[in-house]
């Protein structure tokens, strides 16, 4: 059991697969190609440093930098010898480097001394700074808009904080082409942008540019004329392109008409539909261009049989069963794409290609070519959390146990507060249905502040997704719990050795864009759990929890809201309310994911030694605002509130405690590393002013 979150510092994974030979060509991974490229660059750099080359007349750049720029040319001379042609190429590339940095009048001459020594004489001239860019003829588009396109090629190499940009003639020519493309993209089909005109200052240190523009007429979409066999009425088809038709006319948007209508028809089963949209610019009236759309829908297709090739360990029935529900239904590319994503998410495949093939009777046979991923995986991890201390973990997973596509995951985790071992069996398609079955066996020890426990148990869970966003589930759990040592008095611990058997229900509505790294959306989940003697439990209680989180993007920043609450009650009243619920079944509050002005589990009632005792009811409210600082580093400010009541007779918002703080986040693909400090604005006796939290993952 993890209490507090942790910082994942290192993950090393080694995969084990079948040792049979493969006939496929071994394609190098991008990281392998990048490493090879770096090796080559290092060799070229070494040759550049040791080459028989002299560069004279340079003051703007260090010789080491210029040798690095010319390393490829120098390496060629080193490997194949010095010739006039190679010397000329080297001088040319050096001159090109200078021109890209604004030295428009640079001149580089080469000479070969002694047959093997290359000398480059550089006349740098002044560095020309780009002055003003004057657009002539831009009657409808402001110069500020055109300026960004004109300087775009130069700006790519320099920070936006740099006010003075060097003058580079080739960049200006490319910028003029970008200005022309912008005009065409805005419907000015007849626009012309003439070659830039350069005006050098007397000393050549500043260049003003004039860019003549002939805008011409701006075109828009006119009538949409449907021909062939549209099947659907014209108003319905136009409705698919309202946003497109309201924009200026361009050839690209005409092509988009064809693509959108093809997608519309294919989504309704017309697999072989053909749509051709033709804009008739010569027939335009007052700049409005009519578009003729010819539609040949073909027949409506249905999903047919499935053929699978390329499997070695995974049984073909696994793939057949995933598509069994589609047979006889109307073809839809969206449904097929969802099946593809579902299969790839399993991790069973490196490559998966699904090719529909028309057959007699207007059926589509699905030819599936697969390349299996390595199924077995060893994992090692190390980390640190401000509450649990150092962490070391080991895991072994087989994603394709016995070839049935069901994963089995085993893991061991050791921290400074305890250990945990777990075995998880996951059957996403129980009895080939859409019901998911999870069976979890676990054993752990953990040292909390005030007591240590040993626990061993299991949990069986069935869940079903009614939609992509809404899931419901049932679970049954059995646990043996024993308090093996305690500094808290026995009168406050409750039962110290017990067996709890419970059943429960949960449901989740998840509208976030990502369950791992959300940047927008809403999530709500709720659980209900009942432990009773009728199902073998030695303690009897009812427990429920609820959580809601809302993420709102604001530009490059993120505003997050969270609310949580929980209640646990004994089914039979005890003579001593504090011991009606064993201490390990109570709720705790405070820490890196709750009210951050308190240490882990430190909010709420304590014994006379300062050990937390937990409670029957809690609430947590969080507001956090994160913003970028530099690269993947983010800053955050937050406000937390919450309470923990020892008894749930009158649950509510009484005895609320608060936290105000700030922190840093470092974004990773699997979640952020967090460093937070929360301030307690109203500390009570024996309470700290605030608390630091170093952790991994989102706070709520």
CA-to-CA dists, residue 18 to 15, 22, 345, 376, angstroms:
10, 10, 21, 9
- Does residue 536 fall inside a structural domain? yes
Are 550 and 612 found together in one domain? Answer: yes
Are 691 and 545 found together in one domain? Answer: yes
Give the residue numbers spanning the domain of 329: 302-372
- Does residue 470 fall inside a structural domain? yes
- Does residue 440 fall inside a structural domain? no
Question: Does residue 691 have a pLDDT over 60?
Answer: yes
Q: Work out whether the CA dihedral 181, 186, 192, 195 comes out positive or negative.
A: negative
Six-digit token string for 37: 């490229």
| Separation between Cα atoms, residue 332 and residue 306, nearest integer Å | 15
Domain count, the chain: 5
Selection from 233, 231, 256 nearest residue 246 by Cα: 256
Map tokens 């042609």 to a residue. Answer: 85
Are 563 and 607 found together in one domain? Answer: yes
Q: Choose one of 58, 91, 123: the last residue of a domain.
A: 123
Q: Choose one of 356, 372, 388: the last residue of a domain.
A: 372
| Separation between Cα atoms, residue 32 and residue 36, nearest integer Å | 6
Q: Choose one of 264, 296, 328: the last residue of a domain.
A: 296
CA-to-CA dists, residue 240 to 232, 233, 235, 265, 290, angstroms:
12, 12, 9, 11, 17
| Separation between Cα atoms, residue 619 and residue 605, nearest integer Å | 15
| Separation between Cα atoms, residue 601 and residue 467, nearest integer Å | 36
DSSP character for 299?
P
Indicate which CATH number applies to the domain containing 190. Answer: 3.10.20.310
| Separation between Cα atoms, residue 191 and residue 177, nearest integer Å | 11
222, β-bridge pairs: none
Q: Tell me the pLDDT of the chain averaged across its residues.
A: 90
Six-digit token string for 125: 């001239």
| Separation between Cα atoms, residue 679 and residue 590, nearest integer Å | 12
pLDDT digits (tens, 9 = 90+) for 6-31: 434 333 333 333 323 333 334 445 55
Question: Does residue 346 have a pLDDT over 90?
Answer: yes
Question: Does residue 375 have a pLDDT over 80?
Answer: yes
Which distant-in-sequence residues (6+ apart) come within 8 Å of 20 by Cβ? Answer: 312
Mean local confidence (pLDDT), 428-439: 95
Mean local confidence (pLDDT), 659-679: 94
pLDDT digits (tens, 9 = 90+) for 201-244: 988 889 999 999 999 999 999 999 999 999 999 999 999 999 99
pLDDT of residue 677: 98
| Separation between Cα atoms, residue 479 and residue 700, nearest integer Å | 27
* Residue, of 71 and 484, whose pLDDT is higher: 484
- Does residue 12 fall inside a structural domain? no
pLDDT of residue 39: 56
pLDDT of residue 583: 97
Which distant-in-sequence residues (6+ apart) come within 8 Å of 265 by Cβ? Answer: 231, 273, 275, 295, 297
Are 651 and 594 found together in one domain? Answer: yes
Are 571 and 635 found together in one domain? Answer: yes
Are 34 and 115 found together in one domain? Answer: yes
* Cβ-contact 205, 128 below 8 angstroms: yes
Are 119 and 210 found together in one domain? Answer: no
DSSP character for 647?
-
Which distant-in-sequence residues (6+ apart) come within 8 Å of 534 by Cβ? Answer: none
- Does residue 403 fall inside a structural domain? no
Are 59 and 190 found together in one domain? Answer: no
Question: Does residue 578 have a pLDDT over 90?
Answer: no
Are 457 and 354 found together in one domain? Answer: no
Question: Does residue 359 have a pLDDT over 60?
Answer: yes
- Does residue 424 fall inside a structural domain? no
Are 251 and 276 found together in one domain? Answer: yes
Indicate which CATH number applies to the domain containing 683. Answer: 2.40.160.50
Which distant-in-sequence residues (6+ apart) come within 8 Å of 37 by Cβ? Answer: none
Are 483 and 582 found together in one domain? Answer: yes
pLDDT of residue 5: 42
Are 494 and 573 found together in one domain? Answer: yes
- Does residue 464 fall inside a structural domain? yes
- Does residue 236 fall inside a structural domain? yes
């Amino acid at each position: 059991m993890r209490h507090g979150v942790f910082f994942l510092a290192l993950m090393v994974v080694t995969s084990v697969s079948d040792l049979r030979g493969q006939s496929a060509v071994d394609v190098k991974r991008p990281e392998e190609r990048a490493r090879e490229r770096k090796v080559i660059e290092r060799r070229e750099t070494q040759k550049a440093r040791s080459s028989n080359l002299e560069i004279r007349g340079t003051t703007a750049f260090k010789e080491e930098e210029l040798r690095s720029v010319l390393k490829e040319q120098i390496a060629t001379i080193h490997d194949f010898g010095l010739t006039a042609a190679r010397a000329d190429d080297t001088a040319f590339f050096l001159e090109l480097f200078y021109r890209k940095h604004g030295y428009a009048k640079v001149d580089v001459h080469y000479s070969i001394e002694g047959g093997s020594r290359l000398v480059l004489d550089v006349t740098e001239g002044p560095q020309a700074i780009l002055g003003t860019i004057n657009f002539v003829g831009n009657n409808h588009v402001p110069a500020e808009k055109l300026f960004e396109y004109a300087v775009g090629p130069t700006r790519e190499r320099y920070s936006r904080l740099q006010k003075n940009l060097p003058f580079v003639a080739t960049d200006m020519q490319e910028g003029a082409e970008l200005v022309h493309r912008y005009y065409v993209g805005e419907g000015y089909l007849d626009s012309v942008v003439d070659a830039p005109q350069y005006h050098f200052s007397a000393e050549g240190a500043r260049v003003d540019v004039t860019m003549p523009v002939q805008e011409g007429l701006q075109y828009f979409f006119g009538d949409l004329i449907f021909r062939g066999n549209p099947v659907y009425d014209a108003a319905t088809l136009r409705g698919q392109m309202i946003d497109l038709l309201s924009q200026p006319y361009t050839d690209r948007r005409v092509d988009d008409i064809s693509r959108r209508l093809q997608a519309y028809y294919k989504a309704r089963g017309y697999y072989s539909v053909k749509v051709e949209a033709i804009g008739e610019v010569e027939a335009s009236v007052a700049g409005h261009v009519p578009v003729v759309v010819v539609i040949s829908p073909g027949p409506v297709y249905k999903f047919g049989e499935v053929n699978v090739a390329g499997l070695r360990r995974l049984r073909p029935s696994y793939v057949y069963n995933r598509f069994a529900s589609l047979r006889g239904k109307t073809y839809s590319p969206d449904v097929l794409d969802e099946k593809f994503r579902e299969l790839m998410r399993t991790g069973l495949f490196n490559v998966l290609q699904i090719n529909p093939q028309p057959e007699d009777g207007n059926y589509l046979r699905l030819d599936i070519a697969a390349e299996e991923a390595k199924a077995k995986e060893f994992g090692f991890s190390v980390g640190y959390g401000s509450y649990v201390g150092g962490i070391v973990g080991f895991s072994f997973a087989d994603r394709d146990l016995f070839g049935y596509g069901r994963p089995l995951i085993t893991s061991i985790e050791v921290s400074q507060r305890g250990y945990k071992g777990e075995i998880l069996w996951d059957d996403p398609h129980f009895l080939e249905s859409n019901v998911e079955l999870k069976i979890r066996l676990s054993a752990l020890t953990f040292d909390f502040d005030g007591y240590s426990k040993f626990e061993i148990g299991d949990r069986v869970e069935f869940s079903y997704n009614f939609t992509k966003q809404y899931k419901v589930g049932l679970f049954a759990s059995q646990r043996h719990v024993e308090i093996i040592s305690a500094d808290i008095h026995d009168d406050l611990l409750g039962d110290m050795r017990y067996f709890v058997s419970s059943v429960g229900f949960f449901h989740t509505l998840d509208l976030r864009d990502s369950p791992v790294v959300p940047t927008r959306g809403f999530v709500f989940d709720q659980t209900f759990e009942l432990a009773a003697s009728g199902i073998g439990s030695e303690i009897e209680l009812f427990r429920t929890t609820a959580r809601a989180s809302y993420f709102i993007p604001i530009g490059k920043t993120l505003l997050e809201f969270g609310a949580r609450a929980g209640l646990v009650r004994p089914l039979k009243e005890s003579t001593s309310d504090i011991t009606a619920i064993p201490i390990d079944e109570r709720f705790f509050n405070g820490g890196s994911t709750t009210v951050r002005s308190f240490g882990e589990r430190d909010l709420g009632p304590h014994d006379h030694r300062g050990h937390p005792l937990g409670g029957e009811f809690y609430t947590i409210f969080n507001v956090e605002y994160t913003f970028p600082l530099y690269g993947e580093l983010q800053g955050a400010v937050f406000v937390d509130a919450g309470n923990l009541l020892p008894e749930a007779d009158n649950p509510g918002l009484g005895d609320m405690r608060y936290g105000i703080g700030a922190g840093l986040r470092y974004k990773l693909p699997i979640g952020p590393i967090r460093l937070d400090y929360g301030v307690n604005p109203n500390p009570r006796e024996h309470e700290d002013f605030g608390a630091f939290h170093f952790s991994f993952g989102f706070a709520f």
